[in-house]
Amino acid sequence: MALIIALVAGGCGASAYSKSDFVARADAICAATLRQTRSVSPSGSAQAGSSSDGALSAYLSSVVPVLESEASQLRALRRPPGTKSDQATLARWYAALAQSVSDYRQLAAAAKRGDDQGVADAEAALGASPVYSLAASYGLQSCGTPGTTAV
């Protein structure tokens, strides 16, 4: 009997991991990443073009590892139970997140090579990414606003 009471008492006040728990943790990761990326000082203009590929490359050499860390931390989060629709949105978001990290790597490599077309292509892929809209549709705020994280 004491064991049953202990188990019941131990469960009191404890709540199951929920979507709101996931959202809070993910948004905290994205907000921390935003602070880190904003602390990286771009040297010169970080725009496409042969005169600024070196500046873009230098900037991305500092930023891409931060974005990779963000994606790794987000992937490590326990996924909450939810509706099939929520699960599908979350799966699509994780896939878009992985693709965005890959696109940033390609952007960094193209800038390092001085490949203006590669820079333009990577920038176009990043601009077309659904990562932010998927994050927002799931309920993420810090991760769901362009330019604020989640690669």
Checking if the pLDDT of 5 tops 60, the result is no
How high does pLDDT run on average in the chain? Answer: 85
Model confidence pLDDT, tens digit, residues 75-126? 999 999 999 999 999 999 999 999 999 999 999 999 999 999 999 999 999 9
Count of helix runs (H) and strand runs (E) in the chain: 6, 0
Q: Is residue 7 included in any domain, yes or no?
A: no
Checking if the pLDDT of 3 tops 50, the result is no
- Between these two residues, 65 and 10, which has the higher pLDDT value? 65
- Between these two residues, 38 and 4, which has the higher pLDDT value? 38
Residue 60 to residue 45: CA distance in whole angstroms: 12
Closest CA to 38 of 109, 142, 124: 142
Domain that holds residue 82: 18-144
Q: At a CB cut-off of 8 Å and minimum separation 6, what does 3 contact?
A: none
* Helical axes 84-113 vs 53-76, angle rounded to 10°: 150
Checking if the pLDDT of 48 tops 80, the result is no
pLDDT in the model for residue 147: 64
DSSP of 56-116, one letter per residue? HHHHHHHHHHHHHHHHHHHHHSPPPP--HHHHHHHHHHHHHHHHHHHHHHHHHHHHHHT-H
Checking if the pLDDT of 46 tops 50, the result is no
pLDDT in the model for residue 41: 82
Q: Is residue 95 included in any domain, yes or no?
A: yes
Q: Is residue 149 included in any domain, yes or no?
A: no
| Counted domains in the chain | 1
Taking the mean position of all CA atoms in its chain, how far away is CA 62?
A: 16
Residue 53 to residue 110: CA distance in whole angstroms: 8
Checking if the pLDDT of 49 tops 90, the result is no
pLDDT in the model for residue 42: 75
CATH code, 119: 1.20.120
CB 140 within 8 A of CB 23: yes
Residue 110 to residue 99: CA distance in whole angstroms: 16
Q: Is residue 4 included in any domain, yes or no?
A: no
Model confidence pLDDT, tens digit, residues 14-23? 569 999 999 9
End-to-end CA distance of the chain: 53
Taking the mean position of all CA atoms in its chain, how far away is CA 73?
A: 9
Per-residue pLDDT, averaged over 58-62, amounts to: 93
pLDDT bucket at 54, cuts 50 / 70 / 90: confident
